Amino acid sequence: MDNPPTSSAKIVEKATNTSTDKLLFTPGPLTTSATVKQAMLRDLGSRDYEFIGLVKDIRTRLLTIGGVAAPEYEAVIMQGSGTFGIESVISSTVPPDGKLLVIVNGAYGRRIVQMAQVLRIAVHVLETAENQKPALAEIEHALQHDMAITHVVMVHCETTTGIVNPASEVGALARRYGKHYFLDAMSSFGAIPLNLSASHIDYLVSSANKCIEGVPGFSFVLARRTALLATEGYARSLSLDLLAQWKGLEQNGQFRFTPPTHSLLAFQQALMELEEEGGVAGRAARYRRNHQILVAGMRKLGFQEYLAEADQGYIITSFLYPPDERFTFDVFYSRLNARGFAIYPGKVSNANCFRIGHIGHLFEHNMHQLLQVIAEVCQEMAIQA
């Protein structure tokens, strides 16, 4: 599905920083280009016509990345991290008698279940092991037998492990059974091609500091307009009310509450850099290459991935701890960190893993640099991976 970058695409590596910041091989916040950071060096009033134009431009560009446009879909920016965007959808688009079918194979799916419980929304949980994709037949079975289900909810790339769930196939099932469909595409949007309309998505959430390569400060929701308009009166929170947020943005282009002006300035620059790279296809090609280099190098050093190759995406990879008692993650992590390379602890519940992200403003040579220092640290620790 991913095409190579078009011939006009320029994969330009920009300086990341003038300082001595570490390279972030994490799920976000990520390493960003110097130009993205520089775009924030301005003070822009939240009611300024220039800011209003900036927000409008961002909203249009986001829809384009999802392969859609207004009025079929609308982009709503929500202050706060990704979790706030998810909670906005869960808390304000489900009717009082609604019921979620939440497909879970990792920590972020479990968080959505927790949200529903806090909000006292009925939930049907379909959980599989963290190294397994959900079975479509089981989803269909749940939709056939639990008539109370109104919404299907799934995480696209479960950043817990890096597994990529079948977004379009689940969308087709939701559509067949007349259910709303909400996809948490936090760590995939902008890097894994997805057409919202073709995948029957009613709501998709992602955030500024993931694959678009902006800085933290807000999340955004891409919503099917007809579904959003039908949610009047469902909100269980004032600040996270998705419909009210959209109405505010539509009425006068302004946010209801203080917007993260600097993050939005950085984000517009990040969106332009995404376009320069050849859009989603161009970014996918770079991340995929980063992933391939990392996995080949780690295998050479004796490390093994947690997921089967067929289930592994090119966003983040979980590696098993080597079966050597001299390996301790804290020492491994601190030694890499001292050399300027930040990796991430594992989040899998049934295996000892650490994670290495290949997203953000990172290029082939950064992956080779990381592999080089991992080899040095393993040698220092006398680890046989």
CB-count exposure of residue 338 (10 Å: 0-12, 13-18, 19+)? exposed
Least distance to ligand PLP, CB of residue 334, Å: 22
Q: Are 224 and 243 in contact (CB under 8 A)?
A: no
Please identify which residue in 17, 38, 83, 254 interacts with ligand PLP, judged by CB under 6 A.
83
The yes or no reply on residue 213 touching ligand PLP (CB under 6 A) is no
CA diameter of the chain? 63
Please identify which residue in 91, 159, 261, 263 interacts with ligand PLP, judged by CB under 6 A.
159
The yes or no reply on residue 26 touching ligand PLP (CB under 6 A) is no
Q: Which residues, at least 6 apart from 225, have a Cβ–Cβ distance to it below 8 Å?
A: 70, 71, 72, 73, 74
Least distance to ligand PLP, CB of residue 208, Å: 9
Least distance to ligand PLP, CB of residue 171, Å: 17
d(CA 162, CA 176): 28
d(CA 84, CA 86): 5
Number of amino acids touching ligand PLP (CB under 6 A)? 12
The yes or no reply on residue 186 touching ligand PLP (CB under 6 A) is yes
Among 184-192, 242-250, 257-265, 297-305, the segment contacting ligand PLP (CB under 6 A): 184-192
Least distance to ligand PLP, CB of residue 160, Å: 8
The yes or no reply on residue 187 touching ligand PLP (CB under 6 A) is yes
Instruction: Output the six-digit token pair for 250.
Output: 């539509």
- Which of 87, 277 has the CB closer to ligand PLP? 87
Compute the Cα dihedral for 279, 282, 288, 290 and give only its sign. negative
The yes or no reply on residue 27 touching ligand PLP (CB under 6 A) is yes
Block residue for tokens 């302004």: 254
Least distance to ligand PLP, CB of residue 6, Å: 28
- Residue 49 to residues 45, 125, 253, 301, Cα–Cα distance (Å): 9, 46, 9, 55
Residue showing the smallest CB distance to ligand PLP in the complex: 82
What does the binding site for ligand PLP look like in residue numbers (CB under 6 A)?
27-28, 81-83, 108, 155, 159, 184, 186-187, 207
